[in-house]
Structure 1
């Protein structure tokens, strides 16, 4: 069997496995945004939360974690908008990013004045975002928060993960390096966990962290800002 057909079969199998996992999560629980997260919201529509100016040079599209309210990631939007960037957080079907992974491509078309885009995804959202990273030349890179790609990608990437993550083992992050460029950037937040990449409270199966969500996200934002400023 040719290598390309093996890769296609492998990708389909990985997608099916992730969809099954996503459904299992969906059937069990939802994670709503905390009041703190809601306080950072700038502009909210039925299907999208946005921050900053639509004429910004750089834009970010943020894919939510499985069953997590999109508003739970508003702090990233508020902070990146302060730096002059545009941020769009789509509200994806049933809060499962894989059910509409192409939404990011539509957002790029809807905001043509933004010249460069970066994808950000938390947990399953990062895996979903990885499926479109090579589908539009305006996409310059991808940022994984406690996440990894479904299949090999050829794009600049930054992976940020927590040393206390009880949902996504650090060993899985290490394994994902084989699917990324050799110069892919990795950053461990030693005291970070899984849920602190958003603002939605405790997550089932996760470990406790001495950090607040804001503290963990501030460290993540520092890495994101450095990543996009590196040629």
Structure 2
């Protein structure tokens, strides 16, 4: 009698735990799909109308390629949490059109980079002709990019910082931050500086907020940007373009 009662109690406990886990998973799935920050239509239209950029909505992600087909450097770019991947097309189109970089913007599982276990090669397969790859990302996407950095030639961070320790590597790193960022604040980025190689280049863009690194509108908890979208796009294009050019030169040398 006691054994039967004990079994029933164990079965009830396991069943309850199973129900809690299932409900938790369902909750996460629902939460990940609610409140996704959509790409703003006008910046995205500028990409679609750009004759120097070819867009391919591929299985691996959104591929932006230079129209002349000449690309030696690629960038795998991971979006921030619950941000539409298309929201990064406008800010990244400059390095495609002006510097010949092929960009693959990933679509993280459940709109959250931490739930996406795929490696860099799952995305670089979209452009097998590209020889050298940068991995990068915005916010949470940048944290994930740090975890994948060992499989790339360089790391690019937009309003982000690493949790993985890359300090002892010789990896080229460019970290762009915003002076008005209310989420990945300049203080948080400075606190995580020791996890990057000594040679890493950190640039704080005056007037930029967290959401300035994508085109998806204001974000809760963020600061107020004082830089225009056009100026932000031009600044990011200049900085990332030079970073890609330096990588290309080092590879060629």
Contact map agreement 2:33 2:111 (CA 8 A) in 1 = no
Higher radius of gyration, 1 or 2: 2
Bigger drift between 159-168 and 94-103 goes to 94-103
Aligned residue among 113, 120, 126 for 2:129: 113
Aligned residues: 206
> Following the alignment from structure 1 to structure 2, what is the Cα–Cα distance between the partners of residues 59 and 196?
23
Match of 1:56 in 2: 71
Contact map agreement 2:206 2:227 (CA 8 A) in 1 = no
Distance 1:229 1:55, change over 3 A: closer
Match of 1:133 in 2: 149
Give, in angstroms, the shift of residue 174 of structure 1: 0.5
Distance 1:114 1:48, change over 3 A: same
Aligned residue among 135, 139, 158 for 1:145: 158
Match of 2:240 in 1: 224
Alignment RMSD (CA, Å) = 2.1
- Where does the alignment leave 5 or more consecutive residues of structure 2 unmatched? 1-27, 49-54
- Where does the alignment leave 5 or more consecutive residues of structure 1 unmatched? 1-22
Report the TM-score when normalising by structure 2.
Answer: 0.75
Match of 2:218 in 1: 202
Distance 1:45 1:113, change over 3 A: closer
What CA deviation, in whole Å up to 9, does each residue of 1:4-51 have, x standing for no partner? xxxxxxxxxxxxxxxxxxx69848632000002321142324662111
What CA deviation, in whole Å up to 9, does each residue of 1:112-131 have, x standing for no partner? 22101111200000001111
Distance 1:210 1:77, change over 3 A: closer
Aligned residue among 168, 174, 181 for 2:184: 168
Give, in angstroms, the shift of residue 94 of structure 1: 1.9
> Following the alignment from structure 2 to structure 1, what is the Cα–Cα distance between the partners of residues 32 and 232?
26
